[in-house]
Chain A
Amino acid sequence: MLDLASLHALEIRILRAYQNNAEQSDAQLQQGIGEGQVRRAVEWLMSKHLLEVTAETTRTTVSLTEVGRDFASKGATPETALLDRAGAGPVAIKDLQADQRFDKGAWGSAFGGLKKDGIIDLDKGDIVIVDPDRASFFGNRLIPELFARFSDSNTHIEIGEFSQEIAQYIQANARKRGSGKAPLRLDERTERVYRLTKDGRRVLVEVLKANLTGDEISRLTPEMIQKGTWRGASFRRYDLSIKPPRVLIGKHHPYRAYLDSVRRRLMALGFEEMKGSLVETEFWNMDALFMPQFHAARNIHDAYYVAEPAQAKRAEEPHFSSVASAHESGGDTGSRGWRYKFNPEQSRRLILRSQGTALSARTLASNPNIPGKYFALARCFRPEDVDATHAADFTQAEGIVLGENINFRSLLGLLELFALEIAQAEAVRYVPDYFPFTEPSVELQAKHPVLGWIELGGAGLFRPELTQPLGVDVPVIAWGLGVDRMAMVALGISDIRDLFSTDLDLLRNTR
Chain B
Amino acid sequence: MPKITVDKPDLERLAGQAYSLESLSAALETAKAEIDAVEGDALRIQLKDTNRPDLWSTEGLARLLKSHRDNAPPDYSFFHPQIGRHAEREVIVDPGLQHIRPYIAAFACEGISIDEAALKALIEAQEKLADGYGRGRSAVAIGIYDASDIAYPVRYDAADPDATAFVPLEFEREMTLRQILSDHPTGRTYSHLLAGKDRFPLIRDSRCEVLSMPPVINSQTLGRVEVGDSFLFCEATGPELDAILLSMAIMAANMADRGGRIHPVTTRYPYDTPHGRTLTCPYDLTAPMQVDIREIYKVVGSHISTDRIQMALNALGYRDIAVGKQTVNARPAPYRDDILHPIDIVEDVVIGIGYDTFEPEMPRDFTLGKAAPEEDLADRFRQLMVGSGFQEVFLSILCSRQEQTEDMNDPDAQIVAISNPMSESYSAIRASLLPGLLKTEAASRRARYPHRIFEVGEVGVLAPDENYGTRTDIHLCALEASDEANLSGIQSYLEVLAYYFNFDYTLAPIDHPTFSPGRSGEIRIGERVYGLIGEIHPIVLETWGINYPVSAFEIDILIADRIADERRKGAQCV
Contacts and interface: CB of A to CB of B under 8 A. Distances in A.
Contacts of B426: 386, 392-393
Contacts of A371: 365-367
Contacts of B341: 330, 333-336, 439, 463-465
A500 B394 contact: yes
Interface in A414-433: 414-417, 429-433
Contacts of A251: 386, 391-392
A464 B362 CA distance: 23
B420 A252 contact: no
Nearest to A292: B51
Contacts of A464: 341, 343
Contacts of B441: 504
Contacts of B370: 267, 272-273
Contacts of B379: 260
A26 B394 CA distance: 58
Contacts of B371: 263, 267, 273
Given A252-B382, A306-B419, A352-B429, A416 B360 contact: yes
Interface stretch (A10-18, A136-144, A169-177, A277-285): A277-285
Contacts of A407: 298-301, 361
B458 interface: yes
Interface string A377-406: 001010111100000110000000101011
Interface string A348-379: 00101000000000000000010111000001
A335 B291 CA distance: 12
Contacts of B29: 431-432
B340 A336 contact: yes
B355 interface: yes
Contact of B393 (A385, A431, A507): A507
Contacts of B458: 278, 379
Closest 7 CB pairs of A and B: A407-B301, A504-B444, A371-B365, A409-B301, A267-B369, A412-B360, A309-B469
B360 A415 contact: yes
Interface of A: 248-253, 255-256, 260, 263, 266-279, 281, 294-297, 300-301, 304-310, 312-314, 316, 330, 333-339, 350, 352, 369, 371-373, 379, 381, 383-386, 392-393, 401, 403, 405-410, 412-417, 429-434, 436, 439-442, 461, 463-465, 475, 499-500, 502-505, 507-508
Contacts, number: 277
Contacts of A406: 363
B396 interface: yes
Interface of B: 29-30, 32, 48-52, 132, 135, 139, 242, 298-302, 340-344, 346-347, 350-351, 355-356, 358-372, 374-375, 379, 382, 385-398, 416-422, 425-426, 429, 436, 439-444, 446-448, 450-453, 458, 460, 467-472
Contacts of B398: 304, 352, 381, 392-393
Contacts of A309: 468-470
A433 B469 contact: no
Given A295-B50, A432-B32, A464-B341, A409 B358 contact: yes
Given A252-B392, A434-B50, A504-B391, A279 B472 contact: yes
Contacts of A405: 364-365
Nearest to B355: A430
A506 B306 CA distance: 61
Contacts of A250: 385-392, 452
A336 B289 CA distance: 11
A265 to B, nearest CB: 10
B364 A337 contact: no
A274 B369 CA distance: 11
A240 B447 CA distance: 28
A313 B392 CA distance: 38
B356 A430 contact: yes
A334 B346 CA distance: 14
Nearest to A499: B394
A296 B52 CA distance: 12
A271 B301 contact: no
9 contacts: A250-B385, A263-B375, A307-B417, A313-B469, A381-B429, A430-B356, A434-B51, A503-B440, A504-B447
B340 A277 contact: no
Contact of A279 (B365, B440, B468): B468
Contacts of A255: 394
B367 A369 contact: yes
Contacts of B50: 295-297, 434, 436
Given A393-B426, A416-B360, A410 B301 contact: yes
Nearest to A455: B34
Given A312-B469, A392-B398, A407-B298, 15 more contacts: A250-B390, A252-B382, A271-B369, A272-B370, A274-B372, A306-B416, A307-B419, A379-B458, A393-B426, A408-B358, A410-B301, A434-B32, A502-B443, A505-B447, A507-B391
Contacts of A279: 416, 429, 460, 468, 470, 472
A272 B369 contact: yes
Contacts of B135: 294, 296
Contacts of A385: 422
Nearest to A385: B422
Contact of B369 (A269, A312, A439, A475): A269
Contact of B367 (A271, A352, A461): A271
Given A272-B369, A313-B469, A432-B29, A442 B355 contact: yes
Count chain A CB atoms within 10 A of each CB in B29, B50, B398, B472 and give the residue with the most. B398
A414 B363 contact: yes
A269 to B, nearest CB: 7
A308 B387 contact: no
Contact of B363 (A252, A381, A386, A417): A417
A434 B472 contact: no
A134 B456 CA distance: 83
Contacts of A440: 299, 346-347, 350-351
Contacts of B51: 434, 436
Contacts of B360: 409-410, 412-413, 415-416
A253 B392 contact: yes
A329 B100 CA distance: 26
Nearest to B414: A308
Contacts of A461: 299, 343
Contacts of A271: 367, 369
Contacts of A310: 419
Contact of A393 (B343, B397, B471): B397
Contact of A500 (B343, B396, B425): B396
A299 B468 CA distance: 21
Given A252-B392, A295-B50, A431-B355, A504 B440 contact: yes
A502 B469 contact: no
A393 B396 CA distance: 6
A278 B472 contact: yes
A306 B394 contact: no
B401 to A, nearest CB: 10
Contacts of B440: 502-504
Given A393-B398, A432-B30, A272 B368 contact: yes
B236 to A, nearest CB: 17
B29 to A, nearest CB: 5
Nearest to B339: A336
A508 B391 contact: yes
A344 B51 CA distance: 23
Contact of B350 (A274, A276, A408): A408
Given A279-B460, A379-B458, A350 B468 contact: yes
Nearest to B26: A431
A277 B439 CA distance: 25
Count chain A CB atoms within 10 A of each CB in B51, B139, B341, B429 and give the residue with the most. B341
B420 A413 contact: no
A410 B422 contact: no
A466 to B, nearest CB: 11
A361 B321 CA distance: 35
A301 B472 CA distance: 24
Given A386-B426, A464-B343, A465-B340, A401 B363 contact: yes
